[in-house]
């Protein structure tokens, strides 16, 4: 582990200490010497209907970002400090412009606008937390914050909240002047516009602050941290999962990139914007079968050693087996996957759809199928993380990874999507049986094949065409209906893909 890995600010470290930390990274800053500072998480700033709640991201996304930051900080053993505002006294005093709020009264003590947003009520001011009320933009001005932090032994502040260009900036500037190391979480701070947010982040960097992300906060620890209640409430993100495999961060990506044989996959006559491979638990000629709308799929191969080790680590968190893996290589930030719901025709229930991420952090969007029902949730997927997506989330929300960045060399990502499949395919006989087939056993599947061998070519083609069309229609229904009942897939299907449609009905 080098200097960057221990995240030092040399401006606050004695040179002799710096040498000692280089030689022994265990001397680096401990979590208990850091504090997450949550600035102004109040209704007037972050709730719909608040006096000054116009922000560059949706209020619910701000709330998610702050709640996740607090959860991560607590799990890592960091202090949490709550900074609330009361601008009732300064309102209207133009002489104080630039130092405190001088507009209409807001965050007035005892009002709804001053209260902490609903998403953080259960987290706010737990035992051991620090808390101050400020009347100026800077959380240090005329408060006990500095004294409380020093008494707690805090040397690094991790700042989040609102607004990036006002109170976050003023507080970070004061903290740097007082000798604190400062991180600012760019995706857990918000401003009135994206332009103001970006300009403030640049100014913060100029002050010597380190601008980071929620994903980087989660990764600033060897210990596993978990964010629960994601999506529709049945999903969770586990970070720092694979330390037990003995690989340094980034090493698993390199190993997977070379170990997996990547393929081009086609859909609707075009190349999908990423490389793919399929691995699984193959027994003789029998393999688990996962079907979804596609012209074709790569040939499944047995789990490679590293994928299999990752699978076993993930199974310890799902509580159920995983016998199928779709590996995808996002070569740059320009590779993407469109909004969709996974198809559950062949899945055992109950189970999770699992996404393990390696390399560049990308963002998973959970979007409601019914516009306006709930807000879109943006979940970061850092290197070494595992997202357990519940089937309720899959039913009620689309998920996607949008394009990011502007260049073709902005960092690759590998995702391994594991599933527990209950449908099986025999390569030798071409029999299909299990939860997604009308044949629930292998002998029943062989009987279907025997009957079809008695059909003439035209009758067989018509039967396979009709079955493929019915499967496609149910796929489409599952993709858009937030109340979809998986029983609609029954009695099941024997076709492997949609090739029998020959593009005409797709």
Q: How confident is the model at residue 5 (pLDDT cuts 50, 70, 90)?
A: very low
Same domain, 393 and 248: yes
**pLDDT given at position 56:** 85
Contacts of residue 392, Cβ cutoff 8 Å, sequence gap at least 6: 231, 232, 233, 234
Q: Does 281 fall in a domain?
A: yes
- Specify the long-range contacts of residues 116-119, CB closer than 8 Å, at least 24 apart: 116/41, 116/42, 116/43, 116/82, 116/84, 117/41, 117/42, 117/43, 117/46, 117/47, 117/59, 117/63, 118/47, 118/63, 119/60, 119/63, 119/64, 119/66, 119/67
Same domain, 231 and 181: no
Contacts of residue 211, Cβ cutoff 8 Å, sequence gap at least 6: 183, 184, 186, 201, 204, 205
Nearest to 35 by CA among 135, 140, 109: 140
The 3-state DSSP composition of the chain as helix, strand, coil percent (nearest 5) reads: 35, 25, 40
CATH of the domain at 137: 3.40.50.850
CB distance 227 to 242 below 8 Å:
no
Same domain, 115 and 243: no
- Which tokens in the block code for residue 421? 């499949």
Same domain, 180 and 33: yes
Gap between the Cα atoms of 215 and 362, Å rounded: 10
Domain edge (last residue) among 373, 401, 423: 423
**pLDDT given at position 32:** 95
Same domain, 143 and 274: no
- Which tokens in the block code for residue 426? 């025999």
**pLDDT given at position 410:** 76
Q: How confident is the model at residue 13 (pLDDT cuts 50, 70, 90)?
A: very low
Judged against a pLDDT cut of 90, whether residue 105 lies above it is answered with no
Same domain, 212 and 236: no
Between β-strands 397-401 and 362-368, what pairing exists: parallel, antiparallel or unpaired? antiparallel
What number is the average pLDDT over the span 347-363? 97
Q: Does 312 fall in a domain?
A: yes
* Lowest pLDDT segment from 45-49, 299-303, 419-423, 492-496: 45-49
Domain edge (last residue) among 156, 185, 219: 219
What number is the average pLDDT over the span 12-31? 54
Could you give the percent of the chain with pLDDT greater than 70? 89
- DSSP helix/strand/coil, 36: strand
SS (H, E, C) 259-307: HCCCECCEECCEECCCEEEEEECCECCEEECCCCCCCCCCCCEECCHHH
What number is the average pLDDT over the span 341-363? 97
**pLDDT digit string (tens) for 443-469?**
999 999 999 999 999 999 999 999 999
Residue 153 DSSP label: T
Same domain, 21 and 126: yes
Judged against a pLDDT cut of 60, whether residue 497 lies above it is answered with yes
User: Burial of 407 by CB count in 10 Å (0-12 exposed, 13-18 middle, 19+ buried)?
Assistant: exposed
CA 59, 61, 63 angle in degrees (round to 5)? 70
Nearest to 292 by CA among 321, 326, 269, 323: 326
Same domain, 33 and 168: yes
Same domain, 215 and 340: no
- Print the domain residue range for 177: 3-219
Q: How confident is the model at residue 7 (pLDDT cuts 50, 70, 90)?
A: very low
Could you give the percent of the chain with pLDDT greater than 90? 77
**pLDDT digit string (tens) for 278-313?**
999 999 999 999 999 877 789 999 999 999 999 999
The highest-confidence range among 86-100, 410-424, 491-505, by mean pLDDT, is 410-424
pTM above 0.85, yes or no: yes
Q: Does 451 fall in a domain?
A: no
Judged against a pLDDT cut of 50, whether residue 23 lies above it is answered with no
CB distance 90 to 135 below 8 Å:
yes
SS (H, E, C) 398-432: EEEECCCCCCCCCCCEEEEEEECECEEEECCCCCE
State the total domains in the chain.
2
* Lowest pLDDT segment from 56-70, 144-158, 425-439: 56-70
Q: Does 273 fall in a domain?
A: yes
Q: How confident is the model at residue 8 (pLDDT cuts 50, 70, 90)?
A: very low
Judged against a pLDDT cut of 80, whether residue 3 lies above it is answered with no
Q: Does 103 fall in a domain?
A: yes
Domain edge (last residue) among 355, 389, 423: 423
Residue 77 DSSP label: T
Q: Does 499 fall in a domain?
A: no
Nearest to 483 by CA among 370, 367, 314, 343: 370
Same domain, 194 and 290: no
What number is the average pLDDT over the span 62-86? 97
Q: Does 382 fall in a domain?
A: yes
CATH of the domain at 415: 2.60.120.590
Q: Which run of H or E residues covers position 170?
A: helix 169-177
* 133 or 17, greater pLDDT: 133
Same domain, 262 and 382: yes
For 45, 117, 118, 126, the CA distances from 122, given in Å and listed in that order, are 19, 10, 8, 8
Same domain, 241 and 374: yes
Within 10 A of 263 (CB to CB), how many other CB atoms are there?
15
Between β-strands 423-426 and 235-239, what pairing exists: parallel, antiparallel or unpaired? unpaired
């Amino acid at each position: 582990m080098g200097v960057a890995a221990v995240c030092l600010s040399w401006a606050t470290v004695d040179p002799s200490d710096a040498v000692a930390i280089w030689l022994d990274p265990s001397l680096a800053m401990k979590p208990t010497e850091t504090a997450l500072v949550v600035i102004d998480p109040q209704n007037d700033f972050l709730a719909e209907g608040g006096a000054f709640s116009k922000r560059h991201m949706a209020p619910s996304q701000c709330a998610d970002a702050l709640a996740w930051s607090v959860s991560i900080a607590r799990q890592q053993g960091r202090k949490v400090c709550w900074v609330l505002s009361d601008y009732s006294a300064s309102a209207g005093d133009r002489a104080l412009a630039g130092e405190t709020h001088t507009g209409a009264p807001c965050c007035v003590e005892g009002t709804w606008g001053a209260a902490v947003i609903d998403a953080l009520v259960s987290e706010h001011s737990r035992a051991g937390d620090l808390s101050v009320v400020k009347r100026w933009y800077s959380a240090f001005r005329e408060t006990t914050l500095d004294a409380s932090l020093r008494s707690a032994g805090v040397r690094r502040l991790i700042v989040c909240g609102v607004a990036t260009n006002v109170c976050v900036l003023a507080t970070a500037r004061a903290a740097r002047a007082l000798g604190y190391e400062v991180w600012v979480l760019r995706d857990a701070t918000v401003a009135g516009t994206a332009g103001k947010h970006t300009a403030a982040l640049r100014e913060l960097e100029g002050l010597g602050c380190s601008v980071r992300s929620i994903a980087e906060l989660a990764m600033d620890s060897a210990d596993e941290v978990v964010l629960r209640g994601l999506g529709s409430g049945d999903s969770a993100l586990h970070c720092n999962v694979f330390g037990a495999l003995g690989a340094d961060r980034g090493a698993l990506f390199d190993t997977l990139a070379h170990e997996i044989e990547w393929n081009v996959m086609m859909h609707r006559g075009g190349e999908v914007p990423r490389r793919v491979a399929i691995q699984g638990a193959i027994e003789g000629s029998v393999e688990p079968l996962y079907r979804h709308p596609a012209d074709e799929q790569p040939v499944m191969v047995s789990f490679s050693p590293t994928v299999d080790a990752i699978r076993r680590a993930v199974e310890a968190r799902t509580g159920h087996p995983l016998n199928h893996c779709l590996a995808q290589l996002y070569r740059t930030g320009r590779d993407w996957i469109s909004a969709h719901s996974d198809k559950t025709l062949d899945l055992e229930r109950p189970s999770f759809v699992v996404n393990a991420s390696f390399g560049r952090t990308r963002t998973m969007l959970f979007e409601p199928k019914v516009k306006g029902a709930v807000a879109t949730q943006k979940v970061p997927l850092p290197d070494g993380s595992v997202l357990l997506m519940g089937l309720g989330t899959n039913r009620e929300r689309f998920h996607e990874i949008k394009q990011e960045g502007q260049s073709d060399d902005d960092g690759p990502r590998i995702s391994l999507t594991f599933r527990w499949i209950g449908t099986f395919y025999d390569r030798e006989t071409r029999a299909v049986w299990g939860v997604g087939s009308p044949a629930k056993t292998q002998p029943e599947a062989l009987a279907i094949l025997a009957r079809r061998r008695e059909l003439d070519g035209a009758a067989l083609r018509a039967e396979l065409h009709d079955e493929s069309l019915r499967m496609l229609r149910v796929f489409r229904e599952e993709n858009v209906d937030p109340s979809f009942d998986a029983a609609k897939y029954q009695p099941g299907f024997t076709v492997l893909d949609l090739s029998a449609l020959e593009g005409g009905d797709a």
